[in-house]
Amino acid sequence: MEAHQDLRGINFEEGYIAVLDKPLEWTSTDVVRKIKYTLRKLGYHRIKVGHAGTLDPLATGILLVCIGRATKLVDSLQAEEKEYEADVMLGATTPSYDLEHPVDRTYPWEHITREKVLAALQSLTGERMQTPPLFSAKKVEGTRAYELARAGETVELRQAKITIYEMELLEYDLPRIRIRVRCSKGTYIRSLAREIGEALDSGAHLTSLCRTRSGGFTLARSLQLDDFLQKLQILETK
């Protein structure tokens, strides 16, 4: 059930993991639906397809799509640690903690130094509780949080235990910083961006996000979605 580059001779019903670089603005569900549709045209009419870890539409990077019997591995794959590279804009917040919504408030950022940023990253590292974004797929009494938030309803989301194993400051170009994050399942990098802003007595939001690793699967060995779909489409009908 490994992620092969050559798809010839593969029986997808027996199990296959597609290691993809999710395109910008696609939802994870969009990717699953597109692959399922393409497989059905190849004759796999009842095949199961699912992903192992949601990526927001404005994020790119590793999306593991499990096909056939590999869907049984979704839970164990989701539990693996993840690694991200993220751009964080200091001095402003948005309702969604990213660029899905426009800036709703600005804050001073001129007092921030490299040393303060490093201290903030250190203070947020380790095992702790984190509140998911209001605009997230978390369910509140059966309804997605983002649906309630868009309807203007007050939403109280339960905190979840997460672990930030490591954070590294990759670029320091105020008011923008770029960080690498190695973390546990369930960590919201959008929430982390907001937490960084708060730790710096300012505000912050996520401006770009790329998942570079999920468990043992790395971005360097991934396929672009279009390339994977083209490889599928040239296969003979099952």
Nearest to 237 by CA among 41, 59, 28: 41
Active-site residue, selected from the candidate residues 6, 30, 56, 98: 56
**In the block, which residue shows the tokens 């164990």?**
76
Give 110's contacts (C-beta < 8 A, 6+ positions apart): none
Residue 173 annotated in active site: no
What count of Cα atoms within 13 Å lies in the side-chain half-sphere of residue 200?
34
Which residues pair with residue 93 across a beta bridge?
105
Peptide bond into 175 cis (omega under 30): yes
What count of Cα atoms within 13 Å lies in the side-chain half-sphere of residue 135?
16
User: Rounded distance, CA 204 to CA 116, Å?
Assistant: 14
List phi, psi (to 5°) of 183: -145, 175
Which residues pair with residue 21 across a beta bridge?
62, 224
Virtual torsion, Cα 194, 94, 173, 188, nearest 10 deg = 40
Given a contact cutoff of 8 angstroms between Cβ atoms, the answer to whether 213 and 222 are in contact is: no
**Ramachandran assignment for 46, one of left (phi > 0), alpha (psi -120 to 50 degrees), beta (any other):** alpha
Catalytic residue positions, numbered: 56
